[in-house]
Structure 1
Amino acid sequence: MNTKPIIALDFKNMEEVLAFLKPFDEQLFVKIGMELYLQNGPVIVKEVRDLGHDIFLDLKLHDIPNTVSQAMKGLAGLDIQMINVHAAGGSRMMAAALAGLREGGSEAQLIAVTQLTSTSEEMMNLEQGIPGSINDSILKYAQVAKNSGLAGVVCSANESRMIKDHLGSSFLKVTPGIRTVDDEVGDQVRVATPEFARQNGSTHIVVGRSITKDKNPVAKYQQIKKAWETEC
């Protein structure tokens, strides 16, 4: 299992992606999200895979079970290592997504988004109409995802320990919203450093602007990778 820091390729087009990746002289684990995929299509996945990098295709599918199943069957033709859905779609949708992925011949890890790291507890209560604590909501989503056969969830580092304690070490905890102490928070709410994420039980971290907007992305990646991999 590739546990390197996942770099979020938050770019608009192929040219920007290839220019960013060119200075790196090692295999990376990168995230291709909706912006990049929808504006460039499946060819962006092929181009990045042809460079030897692993891919987390972050499309957060959320629809009726049959639609998601058929979409996953189509996406299974892409050479990806990880893909996701929204846990809010429910157990039938998640099970259908996994079935579609496997029927399409892909062994990619399927994970589920619990609560976006841009979502606060107040937003969850007032806008989603979900009462109680955000931790209760996240743990419930994670339990349903595991029961549906998924490999893990997307969650913030603040919830990783809780999910690990309830659902085990092997259940993936993929953590976005990673920043170093001197980075701007941006539009994320529940953020954490690589060190905190590791100590709190995250199995993967996703880092975007901290690396992609840095003046020296390769050096910043190595800094974050060392912080993520080094035991205290």
Structure 2
Amino acid sequence: MINAKDRLIVALDYPTLEDAKGLVETLGDAVSVYKVGLEMFLNSKGEAVNYLNGLGKKIFLDLKFHDIPNTTTMASIFAAKQDVFMFNVHAGGGRTMMKSVAERVKEISPETMAIAVTVLTSFSEEEVSEHFATELNIKELAMHWAKATKESGMDGVVCSPWEAASIKEVCGESFKTICPGVRPQWAAANDQKRIMTPKKAIESGCDFLVVGRPITKAENPVEAANLVMAEIQEALA
């Protein structure tokens, strides 16, 4: 059974590997899953992945591949070979791209979750309308891309907690929702615009919660992580 510890993904958004190591060592056994994004992956030249694997931690490789199908598929094969728990592409790359990624990754590493990003949680309704030149609102656009992701054979999507329940209704309970934009009531919103508390996010259909600054910038990261997991456990109960 998945418990609160399995549901929390701590984002290692740091400029250096030493900074990330400091947090991971501080958190110790309290946290078992980490997100390695572009900043950390590039600044550590990929060493962050090796470091976390060496500690037996699970890794969400958040590089958001978005290119022509062949290039994205080759990058995805590289990601799957890094012993990561999960990696992502952009749903905006299209069905042909996602179908190719899903098929090849399942061939070489069936246990690796391949997911797609829908609408970044930093977008507002006005920005989506202007940038994508669409009459769809954020929820409708996220749903459109989630359905395309599911039909392409991918395992789930990165979405706002505000879209998770609707995506589950359309794509099924086994289709995973990975949600940034999670902020406890005691934490600052920062640059996230579509946010939700951990408890409410789990109740709304989120499978995994990606949490960064409320934990990484906390005076006591272990206490902050435990507070988030307590909210998650309360929702699961």
Normalised-by-shorter TM-score class: over 0.9
Q: How does 1:191-202 map to 2 (within 5 A)?
A: 191-202=195-206
2:13 aligns with 10
Question: Paired residue for 1:29, among 26, 30, 33?
Answer: 33
2:176 aligns with 172
CA–CA distance in structure 2, aligned partners of residues 107 and 150 of structure 1: 12
The amino acid across from 2:185 in the alignment is V
Paired residues of 1:91 and 1:145 also in contact (CA < 8 A)? yes
Q: SS at the partner of 1:206?
A: strand
The amino acid across from 2:161 in the alignment is A
1:62 aligns with 66
The amino acid across from 2:176 in the alignment is L
The number of aligned residues is 232
CA–CA distance in structure 1, aligned partners of residues 6 and 69 of structure 2: 30
Higher mean C-alpha deviation, range 49-58 or range 2-11: 2-11
Aligned identity (percent) is 36
The amino acid across from 1:17 in the alignment is A
1:130 aligns with 134
CA–CA distance in structure 2, aligned partners of residues 167 and 198 of structure 1: 17
Q: Which has the higher helix share?
A: 2
1:98 aligns with 102
Paired residues of 2:17 and 2:43 also in contact (CA < 8 A)? no
CA–CA distance in structure 1, aligned partners of residues 142 and 228 of structure 2: 26
Cα displacement (A) at 1:103: 4.4
- Deviation sequence 1:39-68 (CA, Å, 0-9, x none): 212221011111111000000000000101
1:82 aligns with 86
- Deviation sequence 1:33-92 (CA, Å, 0-9, x none): 001101212221011111111000000000000101111122222010000000000111
Q: SS at the partner of 2:7?
A: coil
- What 5-or-longer segments of structure 1 have no aligned partner? none
- Deviation sequence 1:118-156 (CA, Å, 0-9, x none): 011111111221212211111010000000111110111
The amino acid across from 2:172 in the alignment is G
- Deviation sequence 1:204-228 (CA, Å, 0-9, x none): 1100000000000011000001101
Paired residues of 1:73 and 1:102 also in contact (CA < 8 A)? no
CA–CA distance in structure 1, aligned partners of residues 11 and 110 of structure 2: 22
2:222 aligns with 218
Paired residues of 2:61 and 2:79 also in contact (CA < 8 A)? no
Alignment of 1:205 with 2:173, yes or no, is no
1:146 aligns with 150
CA–CA distance in structure 2, aligned partners of residues 82 and 133 of structure 1: 28
2:77 aligns with 73
Higher mean C-alpha deviation, range 18-27 or range 148-157: 18-27
Cα displacement (A) at 1:166: 1.4
Question: Paired residue for 1:52, among 52, 56, 80?
Answer: 56
CA–CA distance in structure 2, aligned partners of residues 208 and 31 of structure 1: 9
CA–CA distance in structure 2, aligned partners of residues 180 and 221 of structure 1: 11
Paired residues of 1:112 and 1:150 also in contact (CA < 8 A)? yes
Paired residues of 1:71 and 1:100 also in contact (CA < 8 A)? no
CA–CA distance in structure 1, aligned partners of residues 20 and 136 of structure 2: 41
- What 5-or-longer segments of structure 2 have no aligned partner? none
> Given the two structures, how large is their TM-score scaled by the length of structure 2?
0.93
1:116 aligns with 120
